């Protein structure tokens, strides 16, 4: 039994952390839902009247709608591609011993070691040569490249948790690797697959650096469009916050729906070691 | 139905240690062979090599006349029952049973019939729509057996299938396995560390130690004529008593006791030298003219039998310290006996009506035929013609 005092301290510490994390979010929501006049100052009273006017402004902007649509398509397609590539790779690395395995894993990990801005220029040159600049396909490819490592290591930890004997039982029953992967391993890591998919989608949905550098003309994503509110229209704070709220909404819903699986997925390694 | 030939099989790890060392075993068609030994003796590794789940460093494994060394498990027509049961947690009992048939493309009508038959035999019919997570340990065990049965494989491999059950269920399932063995007559290799399971289930039993075969024999022979001290000590409970003894002509002296040699034993080569004498607790009996006059130290009354402990004035010998890979670790048993050099506690198992009482001297006899003699250096059985 923990004493009441230590519980209280823990509660207060967590409260401070929550506040630090939540305040910007609350600010965004407050400004977004304020009447344009109240919001103009950039600091509406917490008790100012609620209004949807800013959302109307944003959603009346076809460029913003198109950008959100682009983000959705790029997010969904890149997520599916990442899962399709990373899942079998993770299964093999988690369940088989073979020469060069550690080297391959190290190489996959290394793709996450360089900061985005360091690799943007080479990718820009590559994409220019391949005529992928300012295309949906280009952004999909870029997001797949960047997300593969995270997805691989998350999925690998899920597969590694499967009892070895259950897979062996499948082999003994006459199944080969593909069958065992599809019929025995995959159904057991369904939760992990969903958690990984959500992480990859969130990355793609939020990603700005590549979307801004490699596209941003004909093909804008949500974050790039929001940036537009700052650059072109002298920071219209209220519509900007409304757009930000719209961008955050699907992520928030996904996170709430998948909270349990995500926490398990992100604390991978912590439980086993 | 199939024969299994294991020919000089070795499993060596990259650090050079051998888990299985030059093992050769023939398992006859329809035979139930038990691999038994302490943990780490290589019995599970050997089983996994037969299954195809573990690579073979050298040697050959044949099923009938086909070498299966490099055959993947799915092509070996072998079914395996795992200690943890290894059921597919996301499938119902029925789907678990059906999986192997589905994978092999068995026609549906036949698969249905086989699944139904196995489920009926094992009392699984009311559980068909449950998932493994909703079953008790005993029920999971039966599903695991069922999954192996429906395949009608040519060989069964069983890796400590009873180890995860509680004592009562284990005894029950042991009887079930014996019944299945008679019913199916399928070639089976069964791994256990439990000598009772080994003795009750095996047509023959193979005792392994440090990856080396010690003896392969019928349970009766293993008990009556162990080839070395390790087998003698491993098989039988309570464990066989061992102590240093001296050969003097046609007698052996054990402390202050002298025992005549049986007619079929010739220890002339060891005359005047020390050997190890082994006596099973169950071979002692109460007798007014017995060879042993002992001071009873302790009596454990178990109802049907009494376990009597008494000291013998002779140097003790540990069966697991002779031959094999000598280990220098001093364990609890040795620590307990330290400071009692030249004194060995012996155990006798007498029937429940015996009057033995602690502190009261008792006269015990042993039939000369029941004595076991071992070489003190190699631990090998000696003297029997």
Task: Express each pLDDT in B212-254 by its tens digit.
Answer: 999 999 999 999 999 999 999 999 889 999 999 999 989 999 9
Q: Do B74 and A175 touch (CB under 8 A)?
A: yes
Tell me how far apart the alpha carbons of residues B331 and B312 are, in angstroms, rounded to a whole number.
Answer: 22
In a domain, B189, yes or no: yes
In a domain, B204, yes or no: yes
B204 and B248 fall within a common domain: no
Tell me how far apart the alpha carbons of residues A223 and A212 are, in angstroms, rounded to a whole number.
Answer: 8
- Residues of chain A in contact with residue B156, where contact means CB-CB under 8 angstroms, are none
Query: Nearest-CA residue of chain B relative to A164?
Result: B86
Note whether B357 and B296 are within 8 A (CB): yes
Note whether A139 and A72 are within 8 A (CB): no
In a domain, B383, yes or no: no
Tell me how far apart the alpha carbons of residues A30 and A49 are, in angstroms, rounded to a whole number.
Answer: 10
B221 and B328 fall within a common domain: no
Q: Is the pLDDT of residue A136 over 90?
A: yes
B164 and B217 fall within a common domain: yes
Tell me how far apart the alpha carbons of residues B350 and B48 are, in angstroms, rounded to a whole number.
Answer: 42
Query: Nearest-CA residue of chain A relative to B73?
Result: A172
Query: Nearest-CA residue of chain B relative to A179?
Result: B103
For the whole model, what pTM was predicted?
A: 0.84
In a domain, B11, yes or no: yes
Residue ending a domain, choose from B229, B262, B294: B229
Q: What is the per-residue pLDDT for A1?
A: 52
Q: Is the pLDDT of residue A2 over 70?
A: no
Q: What is the per-residue pLDDT for B339?
A: 52
Note whether B351 and B277 are within 8 A (CB): no
Q: Is the pLDDT of residue A40 over 90?
A: no
Q: What is the per-residue pLDDT for B327?
A: 53
Q: Mean pLDDT in chain A?
A: 87
pLDDT band at A270 (very low <50, low <70, confident <90, very high): very low
- Residues of chain B in contact with residue A180, where contact means CB-CB under 8 angstroms, are none
Q: What percent of chain B stands above pLDDT 90?
A: 70
Note whether B256 and B312 are within 8 A (CB): no
In a domain, B234, yes or no: no
Q: CB atoms < 10 A from the CB of A216, how many?
A: 20
Q: Is the pLDDT of residue A272 over 50?
A: no
**Which residues, 6 or more positions from B297, have their beta carbon under 8 angstroms from its beta carbon?**
B309, B310, B311, B345, B358
Q: Do B73 and A171 touch (CB under 8 A)?
A: yes
Q: CB atoms < 10 A from the CB of B180, how many?
A: 20
Tokens at A153, concatenated: 């290591």
Residue B206's nearest CA partner among B225, B187, B192, B224 is B192
Of A163, A171, A184, the CB nearest to B84: A163
Tell me how far apart the alpha carbons of residues B156 and B158 are, in angstroms, rounded to a whole number.
Answer: 6
B245 and B126 fall within a common domain: no
Q: What is the per-residue pLDDT for A226?
A: 87
| Angstroms from A260 CA to nearest CA on chain B | 19
Mutation for testing the B interface, residue in A97, A167, A173, A178 having most B CBs under 10 Å: A173
CATH code of the domain covering residue B208: 3.40.50.300
B69 and B128 fall within a common domain: yes
Query: Nearest-CA residue of chain A relative to B144?
Result: A169
B94 and B194 fall within a common domain: yes
Place of tokens 């009346």: A60
B137 and B247 fall within a common domain: no
Q: Do B86 and A175 touch (CB under 8 A)?
A: no
| Angstroms from A47 CA to nearest CA on chain B | 52
| Angstroms from A108 CA to nearest CA on chain B | 27
Q: What percent of chain B stands above pLDDT 70?
A: 95
Q: Is A237 exposed, middle or buried (0-12, 13-18, 19+ CB in 10 A)?
A: buried
Q: Which domain holds residue B99?
A: 4-229
Structural domain total, chain B: 2
User: What are the structural domain ranges in chain A?
Assistant: 55-266
Q: What is the per-residue pLDDT for A217?
A: 86
Q: Is B161 exposed, middle or buried (0-12, 13-18, 19+ CB in 10 A)?
A: buried
Cα B300 to its chain centre, rounded Å, is: 25
Q: Select A55-266's CATH number: 1.10.490.10, 1.10.287.620, 1.10.3720.10, 3.40.50.300.
A: 1.10.3720.10
Cα B368 to its chain centre, rounded Å, is: 26
**Which residues, 6 or more positions from B85, have their beta carbon under 8 angstroms from its beta carbon?**
B132, B140, B141, B143, B144, B164
Q: What is the per-residue pLDDT for A273?
A: 29
Query: What are the Cα distances from residue A114, in Å, to A109, A117, A119, A216?
Result: 10, 8, 7, 23
Interface list for chain A against chain B, based on CB atoms closer than 8 Å = 163, 165-166, 168-176, 179, 183-184, 187-188
B152 and B202 fall within a common domain: yes
Q: Is the pLDDT of residue A271 over 90?
A: no
Note whether B78 and B124 are within 8 A (CB): no
Tell me how far apart the alpha carbons of residues B357 and A255 are, in angstroms, rounded to a whole number.
Answer: 74
SS3 annotation, chain B: CCCEEEEEEEEECCCCCEEEEEEEEEECCCCEEEEECCCCCCHHHHHHHHHCCCCCCEEEEEECCEECCCCCHHHCCEEEECCCCCCCCCCCHHHHHHHHHHHCCCCHHHHHHHHHHHHHHCCCHHHCCCCHHHCCHHHHHHHHHHHHHHCCCCEEEEECCCCCCCHHHHHHHHHHHHHHHHHHCCEEEEEECCHHHHHHHCCEEEEEECCEEEEEECHHHHHHCCCEHHHHHHCCCCCCEEEEEEEECCEEEECCEEEECCCCECCHHHCCCEEEEEECHHHEEECCCCCEEEECCEEEECCCEEEEEEEECCCECCHHHCCCCCCCCCCHHHHHHCCCCCCEEEEEEEECCCCCCCCCEEEEEECHHHCEEECCCCCEECCEC
| Angstroms from B11 CA to nearest CA on chain A | 17
Our CA dihedral for A4, A5, A10, A14, rounded to 10 degrees, sits at 90
Tell me how far apart the alpha carbons of residues A118 and B35 are, in angstroms, rounded to a whole number.
Answer: 61
Query: Nearest-CA residue of chain B relative to A184?
Result: B88
B33 and B101 fall within a common domain: yes
Of A168 and B255, more confident = A168
pLDDT tens, residue by residue, B25-76: 999 999 999 999 998 899 999 999 999 999 999 999 999 989 999 999 999 9
Q: Is the pLDDT of residue A211 over 90?
A: yes
Q: What percent of chain A stands above pLDDT 90?
A: 51
In a domain, B97, yes or no: yes
Place of tokens 């994503």: A221
Residue ending a domain, choose from B181, B208, B229: B229
3-state secondary structure of A34: strand
B258 and B215 fall within a common domain: no
Residue ending a domain, choose from B229, B255, B270: B229
pLDDT tens per residue, chain B (385 residues)? Answer: 799 999 999 999 988 889 999 999 999 999 999 999 998 899 999 999 999 999 999 999 999 989 999 999 999 999 999 999 999 999 999 999 999 999 999 999 999 999 999 999 899 999 999 999 999 999 999 999 999 999 999 999 999 999 988 888 899 999 999 999 999 999 999 999 999 999 999 999 999 999 999 999 999 999 999 999 999 999 988 999 999 999 998 999 998 888 888 888 888 899 999 999 999 999 999 988 888 889 999 999 988 899 999 999 888 888 777 776 655 455 666 655 555 667 889 999 998 887 888 888 999 999 888 999 999 989 999 988 6
B298 and B216 fall within a common domain: no
3-state secondary structure of A141: helix
End-to-end CA distance of chain A: 26
Tell me how far apart the alpha carbons of residues A171 and B71 are, in angstroms, rounded to a whole number.
Answer: 12
**Range A132-157 average pLDDT:** 94
Q: Is the dihedral of CA B168, B174, B179, B184 positive or negative?
A: positive
B172 and B34 fall within a common domain: yes
């Amino acid at each position: 039994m923990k004493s009441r005092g230590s519980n209280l301290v823990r509660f207060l510490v967590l409260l401070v952390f929550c506040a630090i994390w939540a305040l910007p979010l609350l600010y965004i929501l407050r400004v977004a839902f304020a009447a344009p006049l109240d919001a103009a100052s950039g600091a509406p009273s917490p008790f100012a009247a609620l209004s949807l006017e800013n959302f109307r402004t944003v959603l009346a902007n076809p460029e913003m709608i198109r950008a959100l649509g682009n983000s959705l398509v790029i997010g969904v397609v890149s997520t599916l591609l990442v899962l399709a590539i990373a899942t079998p790779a993770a299964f093999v690395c988690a369940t088989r011993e073979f020469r060069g395995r550690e080297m391959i894993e190290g190489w996959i990990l290394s793709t996450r070691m360089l900061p985005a801005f360091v690799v943007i220029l080479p990718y820009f040159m590559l994409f220019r040569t391949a005529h992928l600049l300012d295309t949906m396909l280009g952004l999909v490819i870029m997001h797949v490249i960047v997300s593969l490592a995270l997805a691989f290591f998350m999925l690998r930890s899920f597969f590694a948790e499967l009892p070895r004997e259950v897979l062996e039982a499948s082999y003994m029953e006459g199944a080969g690797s593909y069958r065992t992967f599809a019929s025995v391993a995959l159904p057991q890591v369904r939760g992990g697959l969903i958690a990984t998919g959500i992480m990859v989608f969130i990355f793609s949905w939020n990603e700005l650096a590549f979307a801004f550098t490699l596209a941003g003309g004909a093909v804008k994503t949500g974050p790039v469009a929001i940036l537009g509110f700052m650059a072109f229209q002298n920071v219209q704070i209220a519509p900007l916050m409304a757009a930000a709220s719209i961008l955050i909404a699907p992520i928030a819903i996904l996170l709430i729906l998948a909270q349990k699986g995500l926490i398990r997925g992100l604390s991978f390694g912590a439980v086993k070691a | 139905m199939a024969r299994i030939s294991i020919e000089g099989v070795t499993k060596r790890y990259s650090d050079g240690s051998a888990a299985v060392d030059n093992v050769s075993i023939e398992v006859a068609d329809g035979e139930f062979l038990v691999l038994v030994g302490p943990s780490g003796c290589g019995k599970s590794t050997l089983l996994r090599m037969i299954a195809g789940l573990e690579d073979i460093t050298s040697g050959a494994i044949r099923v009938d006349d086909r070498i299966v060394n490099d055959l993947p498990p799915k092509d070996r027509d072998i079914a395996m029952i795992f200690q943890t049961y290894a059921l597919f947690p996301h499938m119902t009992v029925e789907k678990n049973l059906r999986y192997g048939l589905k994978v092999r493309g068995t026609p549906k009508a036949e698969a249905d019939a086989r699944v139904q038959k196995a489920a009926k035999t094992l009392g699984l019919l009311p559980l068909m729509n449950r998932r493994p997570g909703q079953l008790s340990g005993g029920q999971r065990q039966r599903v695991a057996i069922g999954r192996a049965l429906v395949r009608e494989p040519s060989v069964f491999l069983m890796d400590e299938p009873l180890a995860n059950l509680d004592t009562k269920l284990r005894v029950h399932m042991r009887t079930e396995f014996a019944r299945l063995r008679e019913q199916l007559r399928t070639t089976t290799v069964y791994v256990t560390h439990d000598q009772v399971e080994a003795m009750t289930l095996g047509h023959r039993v193979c005792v392994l130690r440090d990856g080396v075969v010690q003896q392969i024999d019928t349970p009766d022979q293993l008990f009556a004529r162990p080839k070395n001290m390790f087998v003698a000590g491993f098989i039988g409970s309570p464990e066989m008593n061992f102590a240093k003894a001296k050969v003097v002509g046609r007698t052996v002296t054990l402390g202050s006791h002298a025992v005549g040699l049986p007619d079929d034993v010739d220890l002339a080569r060891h005359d005047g030298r020390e050997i190890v004498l082994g006596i099973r607790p169950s071979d002692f009996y109460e007798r007014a003219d017995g060879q042993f006059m002992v001071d009873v130290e302790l009596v454990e009354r178990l109802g049907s039998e009494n376990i009597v402990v008494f000291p013998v004035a002779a140097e003790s010998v540990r069966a697991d310290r002779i031959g094999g890979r000598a280990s220098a670790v001093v364990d609890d048993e040795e620590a307990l006996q330290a400071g009692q050099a030249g004194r060995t506690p012996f155990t006798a198992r007498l029937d429940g009506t015996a009057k033995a009482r602690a502190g009261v001297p008792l006269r015990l006899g042993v039939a000369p035929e029941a004595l076991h003699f071992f070489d003190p250096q190699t631990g090998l059985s000696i003297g029997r013609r």
